Amino acid sequence: MVSERAYAAVALNRPIRTEFTYAVPQPLRSSIAPGARVVVPFATRREVGVCVRVLGEPGMDPRRIRPLERLLDEEPILPGDLLELALWIADETVCSWGQAIAALLPASLKREVARRSIVQIEATPGAEGALASLETDWPKQFRVLRTLLEAGGPVERVELLGRTKLSWSPVLRLRKKGWVRIRRVPVTSDPLLEGEIERGPPPRLTPEQEAARDAVTAIVRERKFGGFLLFGITGSGKTEVYLRALEATLAARRSAIVLVPEISLTPQTVARFRGRFGEVAVLHSRLTDAQRFDQWRAIREGKARVVVGARSAVFAPVRDLGLVVVDEEHEPSFKQQQVPRYHARDVARRRAEIAEAALLLGSATPSLEAWRDAQEGRSRLLRLPHRVGGGSLPEIRVVDLRRETGPGRAPTLLSRPLLSAVRDAVRRREQAILFLNRRGFAPVLYCPTCAATVRCDRCDASLTYHRRHRRAVCHLCGEEEVPPTKCPDCTAGGLLFLGAGSERVEDLVRREIPGIRVARMDSDTMVARGAHEGVLGPFRRGEIDALVGTQMIAKGLDFPNVTVVGVVSADTALHLPDFRSTERTFQLISQVAGRAGRGPKGGVVFVQTHQPEQDAIGFAVRHDYEAFAREEIEGRRSAGFPPFARAVRILVEGKDEDRARATAVRIRDRLLGSSPAPEPGKSPALPFEVEERPLGGLAPGVQILGPAPAPIARIRGRARWHLLAKVAPPSTLAAIRAVLHDVAEGSWPGCEVTVDVDPVSVL
């Protein structure tokens, strides 16, 4: 007898754009269904995959088909809408269906056994004494132990390895020597869910907030798709609009997902949602497998109907999704930097379309993609042009650093106007925030004799001096050394530490304003769990006068007593050879400025720059996002960059420079059809050489730039070459999808090839 369910098409987490057919053993046929996990033989191994279709006919020689071994779910774990979403992601980001599905599932569902604990590492008592003995001969162990000693307590494995950029083996060596302890710690509760619940009567809405809520609510009730862009200045009460729209969604007996950047997923954020809704599921990167699975199951069973989380929460298996909110939608962290390289904003839109739900994007500085969608009617623009409580945006003053630095005067890191404003604020018992998007003490070690800078041996980067550790550190690979006293090029002495990092700013503030209480927040100081709260708590209570930090302090912080904000250098992002650098600069200045003047005392922002005439700075100073967007969008249109074209970046990395370049050329030729390769040995100039030839007759409107060395031409001793394909109407991504899959799945000996559709960075 022929069974309708005799075969299953199974998607595996492998970079092969096909599904695999397995025979379903008789006893499993009644329960197999799309969305169920199965264990299958693959080559000589067993793998967990997901059934995506059940079939009556195998569509191939049945004798070549092996049976699947186990069915892991009696009920399909993945609902149909998520399977469909995964297929869309596979198409959009150029990966396999199985890879996209793997990104949707919590890790514990991809294994047969789930982990219920985390690994912590801690320095043993007395390990300080060992530090000096490791310094010269065992630099990696030294880095691990120093990091642990600084943290002053247990550090999680992922955190430690991420922070030191090292492998696990130096940790094991240290354990052997008895200087660290490694333990598995069972984790049952999530610290984000343990904090206080913020309760109180909800504030009265302004007329604009009310209008925004009503527009979104209507769509949720009508059960159809509708996209919205909530364009509200900093402090205009966007979150309250989200909360009210969520209330309405629950009242309509539907569920909701709220995406926030990982960095804003703080106890305060969560407390606010829990205060309003009680049962809220929270998904973030620090959950253990088991915690994530518990949350996932609660959501799947309909116990939690509001989900708050970072990027991957867009996949939460809620029932009857009615609303997806993406807060700070312009944040680059919504883009995943590994396969599948999806952008959560785009996935949120697709998911809302499938679910016939409302999509609400919010930002004070919308991405040009979201802005153009609103301009062209693909989403509706909702404006919050005023701060709640009637406060106004802070005054922004530009400090021209060229004037601050006269002849014979050392370059100024903190200008006189900024310093005296901080001084006055402290005197008035108010607070200040100083922002600089660079950690360490000095980003450049410079030889005045031969004008060389000290660079990393393995990367295309100069070493940053970290004074606290007296180390020169490469921020790309983590390698560090004792700073040389002589120039590596000409052996002259007298190397200078130039430029500014957050460590130097902190140091300077202390020296210039004696008695000031300063704290620094950057990834150097925030290693231990709870370190953020350890600084933000005292700052909130007024026990700290000034906060110095990197992007960690650029957004979300809401402290009414902050009246002075300094952007120490507005130029750091401007010179990056990336088509998004102007947009990024505008966003950063606006977001940082938004930390000032959130209380009745008002505030003032100082933006220090060597290029006050830059457009991004001028528009930010005038708080004029719309004029900025108009101009920047025009620039993108004429250059043919997103949002007017899809961009696909193909990065080739390899130990051997010539091979990486040759591979990039081969890929270019494959994209172009079959054009002859160019002369070997000639490197096109930066950033890209424009390739005029049409794409093998395939698609008009497709342009290939490059190959060229990537702006960061080497990391960890690996050469990096890249190409950029721009796909503009009348062509679409679909026109070159097959060849992109071909490139992504291809075998490129000695090289690693990455295909990134609509990259957020091309460095």
Residue 713: CB minimum distance to Zn ion, A: 12
Q: How far apart are CA 168 and CA 184, in angstroms?
A: 15
Read off the tokens for 238.
């966007």
C-beta of residue 577 within 8 angstroms of C-beta of residue 686: yes
Q: Identify the residue among 458, 510, 540, 637 touching Zn ion (CB under 5 A).
A: 458
Site membership for Zn ion, residue 487 (CB under 5 A)? yes
Indicate the residue among 313 and 472 with the shorter CB distance to Zn ion. 472
Residue 299: CB minimum distance to Zn ion, A: 41
From 8, 17, 20, select the one nearest 90 (Cα to Cα). 17
C-beta of residue 307 within 8 angstroms of C-beta of residue 291: no
Q: How far apart are CA 370 and CA 500, in angstroms?
A: 34
C-beta of residue 227 within 8 angstroms of C-beta of residue 378: yes
Taking CB under 5 A as the binding criterion, the range among 69-77, 166-174, 489-497, 549-557 that sits at the site for Zn ion is 489-497
Residue 208: CB minimum distance to Zn ion, A: 49
Q: Render 630-674 in DSSP notation, one character per residue.
A: HHHHHHHHHHT-TTSSEEEEEEEEESSHHHHHHHHHHHHHHHHSS
Site membership for Zn ion, residue 405 (CB under 5 A)? no
Residue 63: CB minimum distance to Zn ion, A: 54
Indicate the residue among 213 and 718 with the shorter CB distance to Zn ion. 718
Taking CB under 5 A as the binding criterion, the range among 322-330, 471-479, 530-538, 613-621 that sits at the site for Zn ion is 471-479
Indicate the residue among 321 and 445 with the shorter CB distance to Zn ion. 445
Site membership for Zn ion, residue 498 (CB under 5 A)? no
Taking CB under 5 A as the binding criterion, the range among 116-124, 188-196, 457-465, 667-675 that sits at the site for Zn ion is 457-465
Site membership for Zn ion, residue 476 (CB under 5 A)? yes
From 179, 344, 354, select the one nearest 758 (Cα to Cα). 344
What phi, psi does 453 have (nearest 5°)?
-115, 150
Q: Identify the residue among 148, 281, 323, 474 touching Zn ion (CB under 5 A).
A: 474
Residue 476: CB minimum distance to Zn ion, A: 5
Q: Identify the residue among 355, 422, 477, 616 touching Zn ion (CB under 5 A).
A: 477
Site string for Zn ion, 424-453 (x = CB under 5 A): -----------------------x-xx-x-
Residue 453: CB minimum distance to Zn ion, A: 9
The DSSP bridge partners found for residue 547 are: 433, 519
Residues 6+ apart with CB under 8 A from 601: 430, 560, 561, 563
Q: Identify the residue among 77, 388, 421, 459 touching Zn ion (CB under 5 A).
A: 459
From 533, 643, 502, 620, select the one nearest 234 (Cα to Cα). 620
Residue 683: CB minimum distance to Zn ion, A: 22
Site membership for Zn ion, residue 734 (CB under 5 A)? no
Taking CB under 5 A as the binding criterion, the range among 206-214, 340-348, 486-494, 525-533 that sits at the site for Zn ion is 486-494
Residue 478: CB minimum distance to Zn ion, A: 7
**Local structure of residue 463 (DSSP, 8 states):** P
Interface with Zn ion: number of residues (CB under 5 A): 15
Read off the tokens for 133.
């003995």
CA distances from 201 to 258, 270, 712 (A): 22, 17, 52
Q: How far is CA 41 from the centre of its chain?
A: 35
Indicate the residue among 482 and 490 with the shorter CB distance to Zn ion. 490
Residue 485: CB minimum distance to Zn ion, A: 12
Between CA 194 and CA 157, with CA 106 as vertex, the angle to 5 degrees is 65
What phi, psi does 222 have (nearest 5°)?
-75, -10
Taking CB under 5 A as the binding criterion, the range among 29-37, 76-84, 345-353, 467-475 that sits at the site for Zn ion is 467-475
Indicate the residue among 495 and 621 with the shorter CB distance to Zn ion. 495
- Tell me the Ramachandran region of residue 320: left when phi exceeds 0, alpha when psi lies from -120 to 50, beta otherwise: left
Per CB under 5 A, which of residues 246..285 are in contact with Zn ion? Answer: none
Indicate the residue among 458 and 510 with the shorter CB distance to Zn ion. 458
Indicate the residue among 165 and 637 with the shorter CB distance to Zn ion. 165
Indicate the residue among 62 and 448 with the shorter CB distance to Zn ion. 448
Does the CA dihedral 24-27-30-31 come out positive or negative?
A: negative
Residue 440: CB minimum distance to Zn ion, A: 14
Read off the tokens for 486.
């002589």
Q: Identify the residue among 8, 28, 456, 702 touching Zn ion (CB under 5 A).
A: 456
Site membership for Zn ion, residue 667 (CB under 5 A)? no
Residue 446: CB minimum distance to Zn ion, A: 9
Read off the tokens for 415.
């200008």
CA distances from 10 to 36, 37, 53, 397 (A): 10, 9, 7, 60
What is the side-by-side strand order in the sheet with 117-123? 155-156, 117-123, 180-186
Residue 480: CB minimum distance to Zn ion, A: 9
Residue 381: CB minimum distance to Zn ion, A: 44
Q: How far apart are CA 424 and CA 415, in angstroms?
A: 14
Q: How far apart are CA 229 and CA 590, in angstroms?
A: 18
State whether residue 169 is helix, strand or coil: helix
Buried b (16+ CB within 10 A) or exposed e, 389-415: eebebbebebbebeebeeeeeeebbbb
Q: Identify the residue among 122, 247, 489, 745 touching Zn ion (CB under 5 A).
A: 489
Indicate the residue among 394 and 499 with the shorter CB distance to Zn ion. 499
Taking CB under 5 A as the binding criterion, the range among 479-487, 509-517, 534-542, 625-633 that sits at the site for Zn ion is 479-487
Indicate the residue among 73 and 489 with the shorter CB distance to Zn ion. 489
Indicate the residue among 478 and 538 with the shorter CB distance to Zn ion. 478
Residue 455: CB minimum distance to Zn ion, A: 9
Site membership for Zn ion, residue 490 (CB under 5 A)? yes
C-beta of residue 343 within 8 angstroms of C-beta of residue 332: no
What phi, psi does 471 have (nearest 5°)?
-135, 145
Which amino acid, residue 13? N
Indicate the residue among 452 and 633 with the shorter CB distance to Zn ion. 452
Residue 461: CB minimum distance to Zn ion, A: 6
Per CB under 5 A, which of residues 540..569 are in contact with Zn ion? Answer: none
Q: Render 172-209 in DSSP notation, one character per residue.
A: HHHHHTTSEEEEEEE--S-HHHHS-----PPPPPPHHH
β-strand 690-691 against 546-549: which pairing, if any?
unpaired
Taking CB under 5 A as the binding criterion, the range among 158-166, 300-308, 491-499, 701-709 that sits at the site for Zn ion is 491-499
Q: How many CB atoms neighbour CB 739 within 10 A?
A: 20
Taking CB under 5 A as the binding criterion, the range among 197-205, 415-423, 475-483, 597-605 that sits at the site for Zn ion is 475-483
Residue 710: CB minimum distance to Zn ion, A: 15
Q: How far apart are CA 697 and CA 181, in angstroms?
A: 62
Residue 492: CB minimum distance to Zn ion, A: 5
Indicate the residue among 448 and 577 with the shorter CB distance to Zn ion. 448
Taking CB under 5 A as the binding criterion, the range among 323-331, 470-478, 676-684, 738-746 that sits at the site for Zn ion is 470-478
- Residue with structure tokens 């004070």? 364
Q: Which residues bind Zn ion (CB under 5 A)?
A: 447, 449-450, 452, 456, 458-459, 474, 476-477, 479, 487, 489-490, 492
